[in-house]
Amino acid sequence: MTKKLDPHGGGSAITGIFRNQIFIPFAALMLLAIFNLIADPSFFAITMNNNSAGYPVLSGQLITIIDNGSELAILAIGMTLVTASSRGQDISVGAAIAISGSVLLRVLCGTDTRPETMQAPIIVGFIVAAIAAMAFGAFNGVLVAYFRIQPMVATLILFTAGRSIAAWINNNELPIVPGEEFKYFGGYIPGIPVPTPFLIAILCFILTWLMLKFTNIGLYSQSVGINEKTSRLNGLNPELIKLTTYVILGLCVAVTGLIKVSRLSTINYSVIAKDIEMDAILAVALGGNSLSGGKFNMAASILGAYVIQFLTTTLYKFDVQATALPAYKAVVVIVLVVLSAPVVREKTARLAKKLRSSKTPAENHA
């Protein structure tokens, strides 16, 4: 009796896999990999070449994916938590990256847009930028948690104003950070052949894993996202928890901003991290997480982010024009999102079960 009611109990390994959340992004990744393997196996080639600075680094399409997918994966961490607790998404992350990057440049370059040397250590610049990004995260969080404005509406404010604020911070000038050292964060550290953004991403994953293991942020944010009333009666402070997730997303924004700005040593206010919020939300959705909050699977979100980058890189590889890229991406995304919808997953699992039972009717009727 209870067994029938329980989607996790009983059933074969097959239905179990279909229902496992990480299955969808994983299957998508495999499909893309197989497609590339058939179309052009050289996609997976990884070589050791000297880069422009003259030391050997790894290169290849896979390296491009883990390099360029890092920012999205880091953002997906914060976006997953925000989605879980506040049952909505922050659409201002792109604009917030512009602000945080702009703050970073302002600290590192001072008032001079073309300084000979850095005006402050990078760590100081990053800390100031992180504080700024977390403050803007808190701004969104307060609107959502305490004023109970829908997340998308609340974050629309920064989405609209953010890039102007970013430009204003540097008087609409484009300072350039001098020296090679700053480029390490978006490029390579001499002697290490792996792109630094990926290393930063790995560090973020470890920190996230530690955070989920050694604090209750996971349990609390899910609980608040699923049933706020119950959470309150169990002694939680739903407002504070929502606010916390927005501040964590702010920190993710600051890290992403550092990588983005470091890649160029400068900033382009209107282009930097453009549309990244949509990809970050998509990563969460591709991970099979409900965009209306509640339960989440962090690993699935992160994998989802890399699937998106894998797809983008694949499309570039096959010479899809940059302007046509979003259209192709959209088609693939529709298929993935529909497949990962709980309704479809449930149906697929049921279908699998049916197929099985029609093969062995005696077993089921016994």
Partner 1 sequence: MREGSLLEMRGIYKSFPGVKALQNVDFTLRKGEIHALMGENGAGKSTLIKVLTGVHVKDEGEIFIKGHEGAVQIRSPQEAQRVGISTVYQEISLCPNLSVAENIFIGRGKGLKVNWREMNRRSAELLDSLGIAVKPTQQLASCSIAVQQMIAIARAVDMECSVLILDEPTSSLDESEVAKLFKLMRQLKDRGVGIIFVTHFLDQVYEVCDRITVLRDGQLVGEYEIESLPRVQLVSKMLGKELDDMADIKNDSAKFTDDGGTPVYEAQNLCSTEGIKPFDFSIKRGEVNGFTGLLGSGRSECVRAIYGADPVTSGTVKMNGTPVKITKPKDAMKNGIAYLPEDRKRDGIVGDLSVRENIILALQVKTGFFRPFSKAKATEFAEKYIKLLDIKTASVNTPIKSLSGGNQQKVILARWLLTDPKYLILDEPTRGIDVGTKVDIQKLVLKLASEGMSITFISSETDEMLRTCSRLLVMRDRKLVGELTGDQLTQNTIMETIAGGDRK
Establish if 112 lies at the interface with partner 1 (CB under 8 A).
no
Give me the least distance between CB of 19 and partner 1, in Å please: 12
Give me the least distance between CB of 354 and partner 1, in Å please: 20
Instruction: Report the residue from 21, 89, 102, 231 that binds partner 1 according to the rule CB under 8 A.
Output: 231
- Mark the segment that binds partner 1 (CB under 8 A) among 17-25, 213-221, 281-289, 347-355: 213-221
Instruction: Report the residue from 26, 43, 136, 220 that binds partner 1 according to the rule CB under 8 A.
Output: 220
Establish if 13 lies at the interface with partner 1 (CB under 8 A).
no
Establish if 237 lies at the interface with partner 1 (CB under 8 A).
yes
- Mark the segment that binds partner 1 (CB under 8 A) among 8-16, 87-95, 132-140, 246-254: 8-16
Establish if 5 lies at the interface with partner 1 (CB under 8 A).
yes
Instruction: Report the residue from 100, 222, 245, 340 that binds partner 1 according to the rule CB under 8 A.
Output: 222
Establish if 196 lies at the interface with partner 1 (CB under 8 A).
no
Establish if 365 lies at the interface with partner 1 (CB under 8 A).
no
Q: Which two tokens stand for residue 286?
A: 């591709």
Instruction: Report the residue from 42, 150, 216, 270 that binds partner 1 according to the rule CB under 8 A.
Output: 216
Nearer of residues 218 and 250 to partner 1, judged by Cβ: 218
Establish if 346 lies at the interface with partner 1 (CB under 8 A).
no
Establish if 229 lies at the interface with partner 1 (CB under 8 A).
yes
Give me the least distance between CB of 213 and partner 1, in Å please: 7
Q: How many amino acids of this chain bind partner 1 (CB under 8 A)?
A: 31
Instruction: Report the residue from 47, 234, 321, 364 that binds partner 1 according to the rule CB under 8 A.
Output: 234
Work out the burial of residue 348: count CB atoms within 10 Å of its CB; fewer than 13 is exposed, 13-18 middle, 19 or more buried.
middle
- Mark the segment that binds partner 1 (CB under 8 A) among 4-12, 68-76, 86-94, 172-180: 4-12
- The residue to which tokens 């209107």 are assigned: 270
Give me the least distance between CB of 342 and partner 1, in Å please: 11
Provide the CA 57 distance to its chain's centre, in angstroms.
25
Query: 3-class secondary structure for the chain?
Result: CHHHHCCCCCCCHHHHHHHCCCHHHHHHHHHHHHHHHHHCHHHHCCEEEECCCCCEEEECHHHHHHHHCHHHHHHHHHHHHHHHHHCCCCCCHHHHHHHHHHHHHHHHHCCCCCCCCCCCCHHHHHHHHHHHHHHHHHHHHHHHHCCCCCHHHHHHHHHHHHHHHHHHHCCCCCCCCCCCHHHHHCCCCCCCCCCHHHHHHHHHHHHHHHHHHHCCHHHHHHHHHHCHHHHHHCCCCHHHHHHHHHHHHHHHHHHHHHHHHHHHCCCCCCCCCCCHHHHHHHHHHHCCCCCCCCCCCHHHHHHHHHHHHHHHHHHHHCCCCCCCHHHHHHHHHHHHHHHHCHHHHHHHHHHHHHHHHHHCHHHHHC
Instruction: Report the residue from 38, 116, 213, 366 that binds partner 1 according to the rule CB under 8 A.
Output: 213
Establish if 294 lies at the interface with partner 1 (CB under 8 A).
yes
Q: Find the binding residues for partner 1 in span 302-341 (CB under 8 A).
A: none
- Interacting residue ranges for partner 1, rule: CB under 8 A: 1-3, 5-10, 213-217, 219-220, 222-223, 226-227, 229-237, 294-295
